[in-house]
Structures are given as C-alpha cells and as structure tokens.
Amino acid sequence: MSTRQISVLGLESSCDETAAAVVRLTLDEAGQLAGPGDILSNQVLSQIDLHAPYGGVVPEIAARAHITHMDRLVQQALTQAEVTLDDLDGVAATAGPGLIGGVLIGLTMGKALALAANKPFIGINHLEGHALTVRMTQAVAFPYLLLLVSGGHCQLLGVTGLGQYQELGSTMDDAVGEAFDKAAKLLSLGYPGGPEIERWAKKGNPEAYPLPRPLIDRHNLDTGSGAELACEFSFSGLKTALRQKADKLAPLNDGHVSDLAASFQAAVMDCLADRTRNAMQVFRMLHNLSGEVPLVVAGGVAANQALRARLETEAGAQGYSLCAPPPALCTDNAAMIAWAGAERMAGAERMAGAEPIVDAMATPAQARWPLADVSA
C-alpha cells in the first residue's frame, strides 16, 4: 500500500512556553491517517521560573523571552529532527488565542521562515492543536467528545471532523486551570497551581471540608438550544468558599493546607465529572452514536492523574473510552501545532484532489479565537 508523508515545522508562543517542533504525518492511499504521527523533535522552553515570583504570567516578560529564545529553539528542532527547511512540506505557527505579544512573535517568525524557504504557511488555532493531539499520539478517529481544560479554557466540544467543533458548554467565569492557580496562591503554594494542588491533595483528606459543587444540579439534557445548560462550568463560587474556609482556619498549618487542597480538588473533579457525564449523553443523542465513543481530555489540566482516573470511570459507565495525550503533550508545545498544520495540509489536499494549497500569509494574530469559530 502506497503512503504519503507530510512534514511540518510548528512554532508555539501563545503564553509562557517557547516551543518549536517537527512532526511527520503519514497518509494512506485514500488520503486518510495511516496511524499515529511521528514527533521528530519537540523543543520546549518553559518560563515558569520567570513568572513564579509574580504568581502568574506577566505578558511583557513572556514576550521578551520568546524573542530571545525562539530562533535558537527552531534551529535545535531542525537539528534534532535531522532536516532542513528545504526538507519540510510546510511551516505552522500559533495565530491565537493567547497573549497577543507572544502570538505575534511566533506567528511572524513562522511566516518569515515559510517565505524564505518558499513553503506553505498555516496559521493554527492553539485550541485546535490541543483538540487534535490525540490523533497524533493515538490516531483517534472522528467523531469524539472533547473536554478541553487548561489555564485559560474549560469547555466541552463535539469534534466531528477537521474544523468541525460544536461547543456544548463552557465556563461561566474561571477556567479550571485558573481556579487551580488562584487556589494555590491563596494557600501560599507554588506556581503553576495545578501540580501544587495535586501534590498537596495526595496528603490530605478530600472530605475534610464540604466545599460547594457549583451547577452540579443542572441537568437539562434537551438536545435543542438548552443542551449547554447541562454542560456549563462555574468555579468562582468554589474559589470563594475555599478562601472563606482558609480565613476561618488561619493561621494555616500543613495539615490544613493538605486537607484544603484535597477538598478543593475533589470538588473540582466532581464538577468536571458531572458536566462531562451530561455532555456524553448529549453528544450521543445529537449524533445518534452507538457503540464505544472516544472521550478525549486535553489541555494542561489533562495531565492531572486524579482527573484522568475519574474520567476513565465516568467514560466506562457511559460506553465511552477515555483517550488522553501523554502528560508532556498536554501542556503547551509545538508538536501539537505542527500536527494541526499537517492535518490542515492533508485536508486541503483531499479537498483539492492534488497538492495542498495553503496561502495563509495574511493570517492575523488573535487574542481571542473560540475553537467553535474555526472552520474546515
């Protein structure tokens, strides 16, 4: 059986990771995925140490670091992959959403490299990179339900094809990763907050403090315009309840902190599980799906092992199978951007019936770019 390969350099600079990677996608003779992709290189420079003293990402510091390190990471990615720009089929870079200064740096460099090497350029929605990562790691077929959880995003989407994303529900206030960061800061833990809350929660009692589970009693499973009511999230009230409990216990000792972290994480997991359980029912009804359906969890918070264990149980009870990228590919990286670019090139090739035609030099940087607005 004849196959065709597409190799793409990807750049990521939407927040506090500067990253460059080379990924190879293989298509069968019908133009469909022939299996998981090959990550030829994946260079990621974390800026955690730069932002930790501030308890969050400082946009100006992030942008300056991207400018300083991006060219070196690109060269390292090409060297590790043992390719040159001439060997590539295209260049992809994050065009949003994200911190606009950082997005502009990666996007501009990606366009410059593509122009210099006379290669197609693809501007990628950062969230689409997360959404498609499981196709790179496990060749997961469409359709699937996606729980996208990160520092800036918390939403449930039906993914029925490339560029076909239907939002079923999202957060009404804080994203779950943001809630973890704020909870960790409140408890005087380190940054980023998610790993710190998880680490302390392992030592605590999740039933020590009865924190609220916002929206957990909303179960409108109507598949019409009210479907999202069953799939929305809210973490602001939970965060406030944690602060009030911590204030009553002050001064906090290690036992207090571990129990508060465990109770907070348990409440978050209950909310995520409840909303995702509803979304699994809605997604199956909307698309009349039978048999086992993939439930994909992606984004930085998807690295949380307690969340994975909980979702695996929920998925099995609903006739779904949990699919998640390796933890290193849950946080921001350029391999997912390169992969999304390769998928876009393959999709253009299928539509054109010949060589892929990609002309995205006019792609703007966007601070906000909902995944549901991305088209095929």
Average pLDDT (101-112) is: 97
Same domain, 30 and 90: yes
pLDDT score of 203 more than 50: yes
Domain co-membership, 204 together with 277:
yes
196 and 224, same structural domain? yes
Higher pLDDT, 63 or 151: 63
Asked if residue 241 lies in contact with residue 292, where contact means CB atoms within 8 angstroms, the answer is no
pLDDT at 358: 61
Cis before 251? omega within 30: yes
Mean pLDDT of 349-361: 66
Nearest to 39 by CA among 10, 2, 70, 64: 10
Single residue among 255, 288, 321 that ends a domain in this structure: 288
pLDDT at 126 over 50: yes
Domain annotation covers residue 113? yes
The reported pLDDT for the residue numbered 352 is: 65
Q: How far apart are CA 183 and CA 180, in angstroms?
A: 5
How many CA atoms within 13 Å lie on the side-chain side of 114? 26
What range does the domain containing 160 cover? Answer: 144-288
Query: What CA–CA distance (Å, rounded) separates 134 from 99?
Result: 25
Is 100 in the same domain as 180? no
Residue 223 scores a pLDDT above 60: no
Q: Which of 222, 254, 288 is a domain's end point? A: 288
Residue 128: which pLDDT band, with cuts at 50, 70 and 90?
very high
Q: Same domain, yes or no, for 54 and 181?
A: no
Do residues 126 and 149 both lie within one domain? no
Q: Taking Cα atoms as reference points, which of 328, 346, 358 lies closest to residue 120?
A: 358
Question: Is the residue at 297 inside a domain?
Answer: no
Q: Is residue 73 part of a domain?
A: yes
DSSP state string for 153-176: -EEEEEEEETTEEEEEEEBSS--H
Q: Are residues 70 and 29 in the same domain?
A: yes
Mean pLDDT over 32-57 rounds to: 90
What percentage of the chain carries pLDDT values higher than 90? 81
CB 104 within 8 A of CB 133: no
Of 17-21, 104-108, 181-185, 188-192, least confident by mean pLDDT is 188-192
Q: Is residue 302 part of a domain?
A: no
Amino acid 91: pLDDT: 97
Structural domains of the chain, count: 2
Mean pLDDT of 82-96: 97
Look at 38-47, 52-61, 200-209, 306-315 and tell me which has the smallest mean pLDDT: 52-61
In a domain, 214, yes or no: yes
Helices (H), the chain: 48-51, 59-81, 100-117, 126-138, 176-186, 193-201, 236-249, 254-287, 305-317, 335-352
Same domain? For 103 and 128 the reply is yes
Q: What is the pLDDT of residue 192?
A: 86
CATH number of the domain encompassing residue 213:
3.30.420.40
| pLDDT band for position 357 (cuts 50, 70, 90) | low
Domain boundary among 227, 262, 288: 288
Confidence of residue 116 (pLDDT cuts 50, 70, 90): very high
Q: Are residues 162 and 254 in the same domain?
A: yes
**Which residue type occupies 360?**
A
Residue 157 has pLDDT above 60, yes or no: yes
The strands making up 154-161's β-sheet, listed across from edge to edge, are 164-170, 154-161, 144-149, 293-298, 320-323
Structure tokens at 50: 């730069």
Indicate whether 344 and 281 sit together in one domain: no
Residue 226 pLDDT grade (very low, low, confident, very high; cuts 50, 70, 90): very low
**For residues 109 and 221, what is the distance between their CA atoms, to the nearest angstrom?**
46
The pTM assigned to this predicted structure is 0.93
Rounded mean pLDDT of 12-32? 94
72 lies in the same domain as 174: no
Q: Which helix (DSSP H) or strand (DSSP E) does residue 6 occupy? A: strand 4-12
Across residues 268-290, what is the average pLDDT? 95
In a domain, 294, yes or no: no
User: Cα 251–256–258 angle (5° rounding)?
Assistant: 135
User: Do β-strands 121-125 and 90-96 pair in parallel, antiparallel, or remain unpaired?
Assistant: parallel
pLDDT, mean over the chain:
92
Instruction: Verify that 104 and 181 share a domain, yes or no.
Output: no
| Residue 90 CA, distance from chain mean position | 23
Q: Name which of 150, 153, 155 is nearest 192 in CA terms.
A: 150
319 within a domain of the structure (yes/no): no
For residue 1, the model assigns a pLDDT of 60
> Looking at residue 220, what is its pLDDT?
58
281: which 2 tokens? Answer: 């029912």
Flag whether 305 is in a domain. no
